[in-house]
Amino acid sequence: MCTAATYKTQDFYFGRTLDYEFSYGDEITVTPRKYPFHFRHMGEVVSHYAMIGMAHVAGDYPLYYDAVNEKGLAMAGLNFVGNAVYQEVEEGRENVAQFEFIPWILSKCATVKEARESLNKMNLVGTPFSEQLPSAQLHWIIADENEAITVECMKDGMHIYDNPVGVLTNNPPFEQQMFQLNNYIGLSPKQPENRFSDKLNFNAYSRGMGALGLPGDLSSTSRFVRVAFTKMNSFSGVSEKASISQFFHILGSVDQQRGCCEVADGKFEITLYTSCCNTNKGIYYYTTYENHQISAVDMFGENLNEKELIKYPLIKGEQIYWQN
């Protein structure tokens, strides 16, 4: 399970948590402009926008979980198990395999508007990367500093939704996630007023009671509500440090601790990493389960006219700042 969110202050930020019981060996991966993408049904693309994100690199191919390109367009894929159904290869359409979706959109689109235009010509197909890595069942959030959309490919075809909250988790489908927010219309960061009865006197005996009823479990529906409430009510300074600090706090509201979500005997889902990318500056910040210190890679600090992938392994040991 995972959670993705957007956040805007002076710059625009995009990131996600990746929650799972094990890691595939993820790396911060910069794909420069001249890295040759060999698309299964669309041929080779040798010149494109550069991008940075978290990926499992297999056979020198970046299988991105989330990424942002040099124009500031960001994208993440999140589990959508049981609902994702991919399309068939169709002549006359741009047939893009599920694992190619992020590179395909980010290599050629600078804005969500351009991504929408590309999606109108595209079939999202289930061609697997390999026998060992079959097609993952996912849905996606695509965002720039002006808007966000959710893309879901299901049994009845591809759906493209406006995403006004800039949040995505997992099941159920996005329309249902948005509808359930109606159940929490009364939540507020302010202290509650007595609307129960004017014949009774009530005591708001604790701070934070305006959000009584905000779900606290780790299910995808509850995480959607919780991170949407946290994000939509967030307040921070506009500096880079203030903005990224607040963003990590927003996603921290859905952090998964080892022991709280058991997926098999003795196996627990945890938040393997949390990311925050300044899409205007191309800086990818992250923390890991074992390392709460924020680390960063600057895409524009690399030579983006190269042909080879640039990879940075995650820093996983806890980094403690000693003060004496």
CA distance 283 to 309: 17
Query: Tokens in use for 39?
Result: 């698309």
**Residue 109 bears catalytic tag:** no
CA distance 163 to 75: 13
Query: Tokens in use for 80?
Result: 């959508």
Catalytic residue from among 2, 153, 276, 277:
2
Beta bridge partners, 313, equal: 27
Cβ contacts of 299 within 8 Å, gap of 6 or more: 30, 50, 51, 52, 70, 282, 283, 284
Beta bridge partners, 121, equal: none
Cβ contacts of 159 within 8 Å, gap of 6 or more: 150, 151, 152, 153, 173, 174, 175
CA distance 223 to 170: 9
Query: Tokens in use for 217?
Result: 């479990």
**Contact yes or no for 168/78 (Cβ under 8 A):** yes
CA distance 174 to 307: 37
CA distance 48 to 225: 37
CA atoms within 13 A on the CB side of 63: 17
Cβ contacts of 62 within 8 Å, gap of 6 or more: 29, 31, 53, 55, 103, 309
Task: Kindly list the catalytic residues.
Answer: 2
